[in-house]
Chain A
Amino acid sequence: MSLKRTNFQRVFLLGAVLLVLMFSIFPFIQILSTSLKYQVDWGNPSLIPAQINLDAYKELLGISTEEIELPETIKIMLDSPAISEEQRAAIVKKFKSNANVFPFGRYMLNTFVIATLTALLSTAIATFAAYALSRLKFKGRSAFSNMVLFVYMVGGVLLMVPLYQMSVSVGLASSVTGTLISLLLIYLVQTLPVAIYMLGNYFRTIPFSLEEAAMIDGYSRTEAIFAIIIPLSRPMLLTVMIYCFVIAWNEYLFASVFLKQYHDFHTLPLALQTLFTSKNAIWDRIMAASMLTLLPVIIAFTVANRFISSGGTEGGVKE
């Protein structure tokens, strides 16, 4: 039986692939397109802007050169002799600053710090957990291995109130630091199962004899993990780290509960939602903020994609 495709089959397959591709990336193209359009162009269904408008990006990134007009009432207040020069300069600075439009830099930093801490801690803890589950023999290993995934059986919506109450009960929710710690712990719980699962599967592909050889060579098991297992697992460790980073970066539900009262510590997903309902909910600004939020995720996935591969142990053992 010939497996060669006919021209019709080829065209059909290509068409189907293109359709799925367009369906998947169209929303992102729409976001990008709208973020680059002037207001008059927003109603234009064409994906290509009539004129490129970078003002929204400049405002969000704080590099706008447009002079902000002071309100009349403020001008009158500034003319008052009772205000000192320093006070006058502070008032002018505050009103001319566009940071309060959407302090994107601040929110991005918040999100970056939380996501990075989550990624690093989750990967570190998951490395040892995955090693134990994939390499060591102990009672209950199988049960524990299965139970790790139970975390995903209960939806976040059901957990957010009880978890917040727990945080209040132990006194963490009463301060910013405590709240951030609570959020970090929740993100760890959310990312650890998948990190353990991915790393465990990867560790199983590394031959036991490599660690055994290291232990015979005078290295304790822990030393063998650092000397052999971790270097061999670098690609997967990076992939897991990026994956955990992305999960934490995109997380909205728990951030909306725990950080609601702390505006300065909002993460990007939470801030974006606030932006959508604020007076600054202008389409180009919303889309530009969405694009800037998406960008680290796209970069992270692109980097991770290069490392999702095996072959690190080639040549080590006879297959």
Chain B
Amino acid sequence: MAQVTLKNLVKKYDEDIIVKGINLEVRDGEFIVLVGPSGCGKSTTLRMIAGLEDINEGSVSIGERQVNDLQPHLRNIAMVFQNYALYPHKTVRENIIFGLKKTRVSKELIQERLSTIATMLQLEELLDRKPADLSGGQRQRVAMGRALVRDADVYLFDEPLSNLDAKLRHHMRTEIAKIHQTMKTTSIYVTHDQVEAMTLGDRVVVMQNGLIEQVGTPMEIYLDPVNVFVATFIGSPSMNLIPATYNKAEDKINLAELSLPMSMLPDIGAERLADGQSILVGIRPDFFEDKRFANSIENSWMLSEQEIQLVEPLGFDKEVSFMIGEQTIKARLDLRSEVNIGDKITLEVDPSRILLFDAEHGRRVS
């Protein structure tokens, strides 16, 4: 295993700058997830680490050695591709041990590792089949087996679950998490799915437009986003962002007909706000509670008599929509809240879960 260090990494295609200078350190044994929308540069970053893309500026180091000019086959990395990239003319067995045959590992050890991986990924019955005879999920397991059977310094995953159906994706996510628990490999995982990011990563790197927006643990990203992009990208449904203005004279935030005293937000320095400044009040749908069933929160912010516009049952939870001014707000309530469209309920929010963002720049006000 080894750590991976990216320093001022830049990738250009002609005049287009895809990766605009990123810095990241992946610790030894860490499972880090690069997440972001399509085109944000996460796969390009991964491919530069793998050596499949040239580096225009900056450096990539694996362990102590800088690998910028090192060919992929000399970097001792393993990779799981989005489209599996299985060798169609080889059987599952041959696909898995293909990389091992290049090393000086004995035949007995190769068989032993093959057997371990085949058992771990439930591939024993499939070893003599060719990729064309496998389902999508089976192919993905073979692709993972091919990577995991090797003793690589770093394991790279390029959206490995994106081609699977939801149920299989959920199952494979669990398998990957279990494998990482067992093997503790240094892993860099790329995905556009924020659920995968939150459930798999020791740390999550949120990227946009070739830059890193934030690096942190899943809960740090979820509870403490640094800007509007991170706040809305992570979490489903997205964080509600309510347009508001700061009234310095009354030291409160006005949101349409509601107001939020700054005294409820002691962690946010009011001195950072200018009178009349446009801000966005961010509240995740999960943090609204039905007053009738809420745990007693000291000094909670009340939203009284909110008329429900829409109810979307999700089984155990339900999502309800109501209006603050012109803005539709979503709240997630549990089974106990039996509400219908048109009902008026009082909701409350723990003020420590309320975030403020500058409306112009999107940066968090803290």
Given A232-B89, A315-B132, A217 contacting B98 (CB threshold 8 A): yes
- Does the CB pair B103–A317 fall under 8 Å? no
Partner of B103, one of A215, A216, A218: A218
Known: A207-B85, A218-B99, A232-B88. A318 touches B163 (CB 8 A): yes
**Chain B contact residues (Cβ within 8 angstroms of A): what range?**
20 to 34
A213 touches B79 (CB 8 A): yes
Residues 90-116 of chain B, each 1 if its beta carbon lies under 8 Å from chain A, else 0: 000000001100110000000000000
Interface status of B333 (Cβ within 8 A of chain A): no
Interface residues on A, range: 20 to 34
Are B103 and A316 in contact (CB-based, < 8 A)? no
Q: Can you list 20 contacts pairing A with B, beta carbon distance less than 8 Å?
A: A209-B81, A209-B83, A210-B88, A212-B52, A213-B146, A215-B72, A216-B50, A216-B73, A216-B77, A217-B146, A220-B73, A221-B71, A231-B89, A312-B88, A312-B89, A315-B130, A315-B132, A317-B81, A317-B83, A318-B139
Residue B120 lies at the interface, judged by CB distance under 8 Å to chain A? no
Say how far A224's CB is from chain B's closest CB, in angstroms. 8
Q: Is the CB of B87 within 8 A of A213?
A: yes
Report chain B residues within 8 Å CB of A207.
83, 85
- 1/0 per residue, CB under 8 A from B, across A174-213: the answer is 0000000000000000000000000000000001011011
A219 CA / B50 CA spacing, docked (Å): 13
Summed over the interface, the residue pairs from A and B with CB atoms below 8 Å come to a total of 87
B131 CB contacts on chain A under 8 angstroms: 315-316
Query: With A232-B89, A314-B88 given, is the CB distance from A216 to B79 under 8 Å?
Result: yes
Using an 8 Å CB-CB cutoff, how does the interface string of B54-72 with A read, 1 for contact, 0 for none? Answer: 0000000000000000011
User: Which residues of chain B are near A221, meaning CB under 8 Å?
Assistant: 71
Q: Does A275 contact B (CB under 8 A)?
A: no
B52 touches A313 (CB 8 A): no
Closest to A319 in B: B83
Q: Which residues of B contact A220 (CB under 8 A)?
A: 71, 73
Query: How far is A290 from B350 in the complex, measured between Cα atoms in Å?
Result: 96
B219 CB-CB contact with A under 8 Å: no
Closest approach, in angstroms, between the C-beta of B18 and any C-beta of chain A? 16
- Whether B87 pairs with A216 at a CB distance below 8 angstroms is no
